[in-house]
Structure 1
Amino acid sequence: MARQSSLSQTSVLIFIAYCFYNLTCFGRLFDDSKSANYYELTRCVLFLVGEMAACKLGLYGEKGYRPWFMHGFQWCFAFSVVIWIAQILTAGNAKEEIRHTEVHAKKVQ
């Protein structure tokens, strides 16, 4: 007999909300929004947390089982988290440097 598996309504709603959040992130990136870095960082972290929860809850089959290709996704998203954190820190340093330059220029005048 074939094993029947289905997702709960909550799982489907969470997935749909995640898809809308992905579209929001991509829109902010294309619009060059100041908060795009934070949205993208949050999206990557949400994926990692959601994937770990799916593994723990047994949504892939047995509890603790993870398909082989999900390991690749985990590494890609973890690397993305590192890149976005570096981007946020670099952008913060650049803003501080611009502010410092503006203050120095006003003092010279």
Structure 2
Amino acid sequence: MNSILNGLYQFILYIGVFILIFYVSEKTARKKWKIVRRPEAEEVNSLHKWGKRILGIILFFNFVFFPSGIKNAVIIMVIFLFNACMQWKSGEKEYIITILGLVIFIIFITLGYTLHIFSE
């Protein structure tokens, strides 16, 4: 029981550290490149809206029927890249924040598997 709690505390601390890292890096990037915050749910056009919906449905079905961590992480990375591409094509600077989030997510997943944070 004690080892389970230690693993849970380690996992919560790990997530908290990465949330803090993303928060600080996002604030720094927005200040440095003068990026105005916009609502995350706002899509650029109808292709962006439908692309996000289709990728979300694929992610949901993959979670339900094929619960493999690496496949799900790759789908999440594709969603990040799709959002960044659509934001870049529309001329917004928000894609910088999206790519920053993708890089931090990749580091999060890589370190999590390397340090066995996500192991059972």
The TM-score range, normalised by the shorter chain, is 0.3 to 0.5
TM-score (norm 2): 0.39
Give the TM-score, by structure 1 length. Answer: 0.41
Q: Which has more radius of gyration?
A: 1
